[in-house]
């Protein structure tokens, strides 16, 4: 099956009892045993549930993976991938990374005796300089949050494997529609399924996908022990959402391209971060590596911080809110949202100035989004 068909059909046969087209919701904490000689496939929902099982089958198929473990959030999935570490290990986190991942590496992993270093995924040779004898894994993402840089996944994997590292990749921003990192040699893919996979801003979830049996077992057992499992209804909602991911991403990408081109020509905008623009520094690698350029972009207001904040607060169609990947367009201010855990000095060093605004472009009419952004800038500079 091809991608769009997988999203609709994998693991989703007609209900055998009533031939329902949509899988039933198994809203049950526990399941009965026939006898003690036969352990049932599902016995307790923290460990497994039919709705969760189906969601895991679908996500694994979309990422061309063998195994998937679903989680209650994207951050739970990221932390679960770090369960491959133990006290005394060292890991590398890309310098351009989601604020939540940065927070875990800076504040919590060191408490567990895990050392954390940094590398630049746009320059894979920096891995060699950062590796220590006890380095076990690295994590990176592309396109990055929030400044939409694109690194060469295969090049990062090549250097990492020269040092025997496990490679973890956050594919949330692109979604499995636009790239499949396992095909490029990545060991583990993580998702916040809250975003494009579910697509409707009505559920929180995460997923870990891998082809490695050992990694899968460790991550599954961690989830089982910690209890970071999603509810049956959350899985059912994600299954409902993922059915339309292929057509949704098509509109997200087309709208984002139109918005980026408009902002690029706007006199009140100093810089637009979108890999679909020919002048983006990573346009060539994005064109080669991705099927399209995505629904996320950022832009820098050519003015004061107060004017940037005013522009962010003045949209009417785009909603001022955290998160991304839903059908509705969102505008966000990273210093107070996705990257609030960093100091201003850290943000600026990572290319996140206080005048940068992040957009998650939805599936509204593109012209309405353009007019809304234009009006917000007029208000900000009035």
All structural domains of the chain with their residue ranges: 3-242, 246-380
Strand partners, 139: 93, 168
Q: Considering 89, 96, 170, 234, which one is annotated as catalytic?
A: 170
Q: Considering 46, 103, 224, 271, which one is annotated as catalytic?
A: 46
Q: What are phi and psi of 233, to 5 degrees?
A: -70, -40
> In whole angstroms, what is the distance from residue 123 CA to residue 159 CA?
10
Query: Which H/E stretch holds residue 374?
Result: helix 366-380
Long-range Cβ contacts of 99-104 (<8 Å, 24+ apart): 99/145, 99/334, 99/338, 99/339, 99/340, 99/341, 99/342, 100/74, 100/75, 100/338, 100/341, 101/139, 101/141, 101/170, 102/339, 102/341, 102/342, 103/341, 104/75, 104/78, 104/79
Residue (of 191, 173, 198, 205) closest to 81 by Cα position: 191
Residues of the chain with pLDDT under 50: none
What tokens were used for 166? 């496990």
Does this model's pTM top 0.75? My answer is yes
Specify the CATH number for 3-242; select among 3.40.640.10, 3.40.50.720, 1.50.10.10, 3.30.420.480: 3.40.640.10
Active site (annotated) includes residue 195: yes
Can you tell me which residue has the tokens 């290990």?
89
Active site (annotated) includes residue 98: yes
Q: Considering 26, 98, 215, 299, which one is annotated as catalytic?
A: 98
Instruction: Give the CA count within 13 Å in the CB-facing half-sphere of 133.
Output: 0
Residue 350 has what pLDDT? 82
Residue 197 has what pLDDT? 98
Do the first three CATH levels of 3-242 and 246-380 match, i.e. the same topology? no
Residue 116 has what pLDDT? 98
Q: Can you tell me whether residue 102 is helix, strand or coil? A: helix
CA-based R_g, the chain, Å: 21
Active site (annotated) includes residue 254: no
Instruction: Give the CA count within 13 Å in the CB-facing half-sphere of 240.
Output: 13
Q: Considering 6, 52, 136, 195, which one is annotated as catalytic?
A: 195
b/e string for 31-62 if b means 16 or more Cβ within 10 A?
A: eeeeeeeeeeeeeebeebbbbbbbbbbbbbbb
Question: Hey, what CATH class is 246-380 in?
Answer: alpha beta
Active site (annotated) includes residue 46: yes
Residue 343 has what pLDDT? 86
Contact indicator for 269, 302 with CB cutoff of 8 Å: yes
Residue 341 has what pLDDT? 81
Residue 339 has what pLDDT? 86
């Amino acid at each position: 099956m091809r991608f769009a068909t997988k999203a609709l059909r994998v693991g989703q046969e007609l209900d055998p009892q009533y031939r329902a087209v949509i899988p039933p919701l198994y809203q049950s904490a526990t399941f009965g045993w026939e006898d003690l000689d036969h352990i049932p496939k599902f016995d307790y929902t923290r460990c497994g549930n039919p709705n969760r099982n189906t969601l895991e089958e679908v996500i694994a198929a979309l990422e061309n993976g063998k195994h998937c473990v679903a989680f209650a959030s994207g951050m739970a999935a990221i932390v679960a991938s770090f369960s491959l570490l133990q006290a005394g290990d060292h890991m590398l986190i890309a310098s351009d990374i989601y604020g939540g991942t940065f927070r875990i590496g800076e504040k919590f992993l060191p408490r567990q005796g895990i050392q954390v270093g940094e590398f630049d995924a746009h320059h894979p040779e920096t891995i060699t300089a950062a590796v220590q004898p006890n380095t076990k894994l690295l994590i990176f993402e592309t396109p990055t949050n929030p400044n939409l840089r694109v690194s060469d996944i295969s090049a990062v994997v090549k250097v990492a494997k020269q040092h025997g590292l496990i490679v973890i990749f956050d594919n949330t921003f692109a979604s499995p529609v636009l790239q499949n990192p396992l095909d490029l040699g990545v060991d583990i893919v993580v998702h916040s399924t809250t975003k494009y996979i579910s697509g409707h801003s009505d559920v929180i979830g995460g997923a870990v996908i891998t082809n490695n049996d050992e990694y899968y077992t460790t991550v599954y057992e961690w989830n089982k022990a910690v209890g970071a499992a999603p509810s049956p209804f959350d899985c059912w909602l994600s299954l409902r959402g993922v059915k339309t991911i292929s057509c949704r991403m098509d509109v997200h990408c087309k709208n984002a391209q139109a918005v980026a081109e408009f902002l690029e020509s706007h006199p009140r905008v100093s810089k637009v971060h979108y890999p679909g623009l020919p002048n983006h520094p990573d346009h060539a690698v994005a064109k080669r590596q991705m099927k399209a350029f995505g629904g996320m972009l950022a832009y820098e207001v050519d003015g004061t911080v107060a004017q940037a904040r005013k522009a962010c607060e003045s949209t009417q169609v785009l909603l001022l809110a955290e998160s991304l990947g839903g059908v509705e367009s969102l505008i966000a201010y990273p210093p107070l949202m996705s990257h609030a855990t960093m100091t201003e000095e850290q943000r600026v060093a990572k290319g996140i100035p206080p005048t940068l605004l992040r957009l998650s472009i939805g599936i509204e009419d593109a012209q309405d989004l353009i007019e809304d952004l234009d009006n917000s800038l007029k208000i900000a500079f009035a």
